[in-house]
Chains A and B, each alone.
Chain A
């Protein structure tokens, strides 16, 4: 832990994002507080990815405001994101982490220790010198997680990190997410996998057409959904 400051709570008020005539987020008001992972679910195009980008500070809302731990500047001090299709730098796995450490201002003398710790956390110790782009899809996702964690984030944003991975690779990622959340890092993740939302979610946010439809503790959300859309979504019906 480098800095005692945190980006939590993240308070979004009336966030609206438009792309031309299309409204991607439509007045989202949501507070993201410390605790177990917050899971964003909803059909494609619901606005999950855009919401994560706004929270990261990568997308500017057209309306509304966002506050990170009482600061409204978008400095990404202690936030990190893993994109749905993370891009590996054309370097070795270890050098990818070293790059993120350098970007986060970690002194060079500490790099070796940090790299070893992070690689071991994501189970890639044996592949440290392998070119990152030659790793399998699941390994690349784990390396992307390690690279994000190199920033020592208080908030970790994950965009469908296990989409297109097989069950074994998904389990490896979920174990890492649990370990990270157990260390007190706030995880905010989007997923299409309702089983994953049940397994990992502390609270669940259902989004549809750019709006938050329902938000509540995971157990309650799945057992007693309050809205018709949530009931239908959980039952596997198509929200269109």
Chain B
């Protein structure tokens, strides 16, 4: 990938190095969103449906965590996974797994906080009907999450947007190793500092295009689903 190749030729030529970078970016960000959804959706729904001391404080903290600085999360995960850290024995620092862990930490609060709000609004609407049908606490969460599924898609997209755009955390825990942990965002940062602006611009265009395409697919799925399920 030399400096004088234009962005467009790079994309069109099907450069294997470029496709590896795009592929890894998608794998890391989509895996992180999936992990964050598995943790964040039940957590958000649980907070929405339970009343306990300090609940307001938990909600404020959760909302605040949506703005976690990626470099700080990267640093924390780096310290935990480094040789001398508590999780150093796993030996996964500077691997895609480490990058997925860091992004999961960044995305989980976004999904949990947005789920909490969505499920709580739906709960106010459904409360009487579910009480009249004697629905237990666990089944309530299942029902509300299922019925809010189209709204929760927006939470997942917000999480994906955060993960796909993020560079600070994954560059620290991934190390931006060519062919192994280099993603679109870390490559853009590197190529820009090296002065290879065409490659940086090309990757930037691809990144934006991918985010737009994924959002368009999600929107289409939502519209279709709503037409059939209301």
| Contact between A87 and B133, CB atoms less than 8 A apart | no
Q: Give which listed residue, B132, B139, B143, B150, contacts A76 with CB less than 8 A.
A: B132
Q: State which residues 57-93 of A face B: CB under 8 Å.
A: 58, 75-76, 80-81, 83, 86-92
| Contact between B230 and A133, CB atoms less than 8 A apart | yes
Query: Which residues of A lie under 8 Å from residue B227 when comparing CB positions?
Result: 131
A194–chain B nearest beta-carbon distance, Å = 27
- Interface residues of B, dominant DSSP: helix
Q: Give which listed residue, A56, A131, A132, contacts B132 with CB less than 8 A.
A: A56
Given known pairs A131-B228, A131-B229, A134-B230, the reply for A89 and B143 (CB within 8 Å) is: yes
Which of B86-94, B121-129, B168-176, B207-215 contacts the other chain? Answer: B121-129
Query: Which residues of B lie under 8 Å from residue A132 when comparing CB positions?
Result: 230
| A100 part of interface (Cβ distance < 8 Å) | yes
| A103 part of interface (Cβ distance < 8 Å) | yes
Query: Which residues of B lie under 8 Å from residue A131 when comparing CB positions?
Result: 226-230
| Contact between B129 and A86, CB atoms less than 8 A apart | yes
| Contact between B134 and A76, CB atoms less than 8 A apart | yes
Indicate the size class of the contact surface on chain A: 20 to 34
| Contact between A87 and B126, CB atoms less than 8 A apart | yes
> Which of A58, A83, A99 lies at the interface centre, i.e. has the most chain B CB atoms within 10 A of its CB?
A99
Query: Which residues of A lie under 8 Å from residue B134 when comparing CB positions?
Result: 75-76, 103
| Contact between B125 and A87, CB atoms less than 8 A apart | yes
B90–chain A nearest beta-carbon distance, Å = 42
| A106 part of interface (Cβ distance < 8 Å) | no
Query: Which residues of A lie under 8 Å from residue B139 when comparing CB positions?
Result: 103
Q: What residues make up the interface of B, taking CB atoms closer than 8 Å to A? A: 125-126, 128-129, 131-135, 139, 143, 147, 150, 226-230
Q: Give which listed residue, B128, B135, B150, B230, contacts A87 with CB less than 8 A.
A: B128
Provide the bound-state CA to CA distance between A238 and B133, in Å.
36
Q: What residues make up the interface of A, taking CB atoms closer than 8 Å to B? A: 56, 58, 75-76, 80-81, 83, 86-92, 99-100, 103-104, 131-134, 151
Provide the bound-state CA to CA distance between A56 and B229, in Å.
30
> Which of B128, B133, B150 lies at the interface centre, i.e. has the most chain A CB atoms within 10 A of its CB?
B133
Can you give 29 contacting A-B residue pairs, CB < 8 Å?
Answer: A58-B128, A58-B131, A58-B132, A75-B134, A76-B132, A76-B134, A80-B132, A83-B128, A83-B129, A83-B132, A87-B125, A87-B128, A87-B129, A89-B126, A89-B143, A89-B147, A90-B147, A90-B150, A91-B147, A92-B229, A99-B133, A99-B143, A103-B133, A103-B135, A131-B227, A131-B228, A131-B229, A133-B230, A134-B230
A147–chain B nearest beta-carbon distance, Å = 8
A48–chain B nearest beta-carbon distance, Å = 16
| Contact between A91 and B230, CB atoms less than 8 A apart | yes
Query: Which residues of B lie under 8 Å from residue A81 when comparing CB positions?
Result: 132
Contacts A83-B128, A103-B139 supplied; 19 other A-B pairs, CB < 8 Å: A56-B132, A58-B128, A76-B132, A76-B134, A80-B132, A81-B132, A83-B132, A87-B125, A89-B143, A90-B150, A90-B230, A91-B147, A92-B230, A100-B133, A103-B133, A103-B134, A131-B230, A134-B230, A151-B133
